[in-house]
Structure 1
């Protein structure tokens, strides 16, 4: 009789151990939390969000863009708007088409103001990524230029350079002053691209500037102008 009791106790312990293992496994497989339907991206909701700003031509224009910026709590001149436009692959400054909006917001998984605001840190982070920043910088040239012109007018170029390089390039203020007094009235794409390369590779004292390098004349003249100023 005592032996039988021991067997029953052992069997009971084994059964309890199996139950514990099953319970533990089930808990490990359960999601941390149930997915809220509001968290899921909705194309229908995204489209309705677009029509809060779009006109009859199905385009978010300059006035509606101001309202959009106000709603998301960002100034139109904030660089986040440039990064957002880049993400939407917008062709024209101050305008978002329906196709651009849906494609871009879908990639960001944003269908409302709050979700877009939650992406601000991500959008800012793109500016700290060397490759992403280069792509944004190059995108800005075509985004900002008049589409019937191949170059940027110099005032627009200065404004965009201030937005993109004003806080990070030690020589920006000096370069801006140079552009202000220069003969240049436009900046072409090659010049625009090379300004970024110059800002990344040439020292603030210009000591490593290669006069025989393949820099555009605009930058050769800038270096010469600055060296004259330094010698005074």
Structure 2
């Protein structure tokens, strides 16, 4: 038996909590939980009814405040959101997931999103996905500490070049 979540709105804050819940449940696919996943996860969360699960929402939200746990959730999101027969995320899904995970916290997200919208990229691979988080955490919004000789994926190098050109206008 598979439990299906209703259609989710990726701009709604509660959606990120559903992603954290899916991570806690170790659900392999977006929007679906097997009975085994559900029971195992609910046991680990010590939830035996809807009311107790509702009571855990604040706890799930706090998981996002721990940098290590957030990195784990962020990495989980890549495999969770991609089509299982693909090695990459299609760009629409990548943009939606990035908006969900980084949109409220990364000051450069709006311009990065604009860059992706106009770029040639149709997919985002796992290396690019992982590095976007690292970039968002380490590079200052004014790009003052960006190392052009660093080992960033080409996509991020191109973003910096594109953004600097826009700033120079």
Bin for the TM-score computed over the shorter chain? over 0.9
Residue of structure 1 aligned with 2:111, choices 154, 174, 178: 174
Q: 1:66 offset after TM fit, Å?
A: 1.8
Question: Structure with the greater relative contact order (CA < 8 A, sep ≥ 6): 1 or 2?
Answer: 2
Return the alpha-carbon distance in structure 1 between the equivalents of residues 13 and 22 of structure 2: 11
What does residue 62 of structure 2 align with? Answer: 125
Q: In structure 2, what is the Cα distance between the partners aligned to 1:76 and 1:191?
A: 25
Match of 1:164 among 101, 118, 130: 101
Gaps of at least 5 residues in structure 1 are 1-57, 70-74
The structure with the greater share of residues assigned to helix is 1
- Name the counterpart of 2:45: 108
| Matched residues, number | 166
1:201 aligns with 2:134: no
Q: What is the alpha-carbon root mean square deviation over aligned residues?
A: 1.5
1:78 aligned to 2:21?
no
Q: Could you tell me the TM-score, scaled by structure 1's length?
A: 0.70
Distance, in Å, in 2 between the alignment partners of 1:109 and 1:189 is: 33
1:14-25 maps to which residues of 2 (within 5 A)? Answer: none
**What TM-score do you get using the length of structure 2 for normalisation?**
0.95
- The runs of at least 4 consecutive aligned structure 1 residues that moved more than 2 Å come to none
Deviation at 1:76? 9.5
Which of the two has higher C-alpha Rg? 1
SS at match of 1:146: coil
Quick one: which of 55, 62, 66 aligns to 2:6?
66
Q: Distance in 2 between matches of 1:117 and 1:77?
A: 12
